[in-house]
Amino acid sequence: MKRALLSVWNKDGIVDLAKTLATAGIEIISSGGTAKTLEKEGIPIIEVSAYTGHPEMMDGRVKTLHPKIHGGILGRRGKDDEIMQQHNIDPIDLLVVNLYPFEEMAKQALPLDELIEFIDIGGPAMIRAAAKNFRDVIVVTDPADYPAIIDSIQSGAEFGYDQRLSLARKVFARMAAYDGAISNHLQSLEGGFPDVLSLQYRNGRALRYGENPHQDAAVYGETGIAGAVPVQGKAMSYNNYLDLDAAVNLLREFSECAAVIIKHNNPCGVATGSNVKEAYLTARESDPVSAYGGIVAVNHEVDADLAAEIAGTFIEVLIAPSYSKDALPILGKKENMRVLTLPDQIPSPEIRTIDGGALVQQTKPYREEWTVVTDRDPTAAEEAAMHLAMKVCKHTKSNAIIFADSKKAIGIGAGQMNRVDSARLAISRSLESLKGTVVASDAFLPFPDTLEVAAEAGATALIQPGGSIRDDEVIAMANRLNIAMVFTGVRFFRH
């Protein structure tokens, strides 16, 4: 290796790398802020403008776009040597470049005229050229790779084909993400969804299998639930991630102490309490059979007492904001139980693949407009129960019917093809009396029959979106049954 070009926005680690290159007698070409940083450290460099014989121009927009640079990167050793000598082009053996931080600057809501200056041109052109010619040029875009480069140079080890190809792969992945971010941002300026949506997720990790053992699977993501890894227990599975996401989304509906238990993407226990242990025990006892092997999410710290309760049964995954020092050894006795720390929420659109493409949706800020539509208003206790029931309802697969009091979900009917069957399922799964409960429905009641089934089970109030052509019939039946009913105006189908 005789020659390297260094031009980076992120200066982390660049001085140590440059010192290693200089010590090894490798000529360093550099420009702009990188050159100033290296010169300040006493590292000998050749300015790009001196190397090419042309000055930087247009406020730095044009500096590396020159045949001496790109010829030195793209020239194929043993094939293009004669033409390179003819045009006085020296080979560049190592290229270290990272790009202007467009993604970060786009988050700052800069005016477009300012943001556009963070679209890198020379950097992408150079790294793409080097990645194309990876057999002859080592290209580095990630400071995390500097230590390996330093080790190889100091030890005199050869840079093998696999290492060079791996670094080239990172270039094209970075460029896909970079160009996608620019495309998405510029198209978003018109509002709504773009004609072309570019997506890229990093940190891909293979999973043992998918929903079933005959299916291959992986998880991608660096933040939120996608980036979460256990602090103890087995590696997460495909189904674990799906259920954990469902559990956390429901848990975030609550500000008070709450516990959520999820099984196969549906809640089977949801409760609040004066403390998180009380909430967990109440949620678990709502349906202990289904809770067995479930996903548990709580929104307050897990202490030793709660840890002992959780460890006393079979739980697949536990997630909480934190764990006391006394709790972790207790949980550790369950070696296979996955224990995770609740991550920050990462707002993002919902994306589901279908044959030949994808569906994308995003939930904009909305407000339910609760309206009492019956002769009788709900009592304070009924209204509190409605709030809890509707929180659970919006995170339950449709058709969803939830019976609840002010502290817990008592009967959960999910995923049925009609609303009456969902109500009957909720009733059949309840382990306690439904007298005095309220009912939540994720969509309007097309007929009074669901209301009648709920009232017969003991419910005294019902909350639903409203909007059926037979709303008047349902309201009339509620009045005859002395049921207080509230319309919210917002539907919560979940497929």
Alpha helices in 31-121 (DSSP H): 32-40, 48-52, 67-74, 81-86, 102-106, 112-115
pLDDT per position as a tens digit, 133-178: 999 999 999 999 999 999 888 888 888 899 999 999 999 999 999 9
Would you tell me which CATH number, out of the four given (3.40.50.150, 3.40.50.1380, 3.90.1150.10, 2.60.130.10), belongs to the domain 3-188?
3.40.50.1380
* Number of C-beta neighbours around residue 224 at 10 A: 15
Same fold, 232-341 and 371-487: yes
pLDDT surpasses 70 at 62: no
Q: Coil, strand or helix: which one is 253?
A: coil
Q: Which amino acid is at 237?
A: S
pLDDT value at residue 426: 97
Whole-model pTM: value is 0.85
Domain 232-341 falls in which CATH fold?
Cytidine Deaminase; domain 2 (3.40.140)
pLDDT per position as a tens digit, 17-31: 999 999 988 999 988
Write out the two tokens for 146: 């500097």
Which sequence spans correspond to the domains of the chain? 3-188, 232-341, 371-487
User: How far is residue 296's CA from residue 267's CA, in Å, rounded to a whole number?
Assistant: 10
pLDDT surpasses 70 at 110: yes
pLDDT per position as a tens digit, 39-59: 998 989 888 887 876 677 666
User: How far is residue 359's CA from residue 354's CA, in Å, rounded to a whole number?
Assistant: 7
69 burial type by CB count under 10 A (0-12 exposed, 13-18 middle, 19+ buried)? buried
32-40 vs 14-23: helix axis angle to the nearest 10? 70
CATH superfamily, region 371-487: AICAR transformylase, duplication domain (3.40.140.20)
132-148 as b/e: b if 16+ CB within 10 A = ebbebbbbbbebebbee
**Average pLDDT in the chain:** 92
Q: What positions carry a catalytic annotation?
A: 132, 264
pLDDT per position as a tens digit, 382-410: 999 999 999 999 999 999 999 999 999 99
pLDDT-derived band at 63 (thresholds 50, 70, 90) equals: low
- Please list, in sequence order, all residues whose beta carbon lies within 8 angstroms of the beta carbon of residue 92, skipping any fewer than 6 positions away: 3, 4, 5, 29, 69, 72, 73, 130, 137
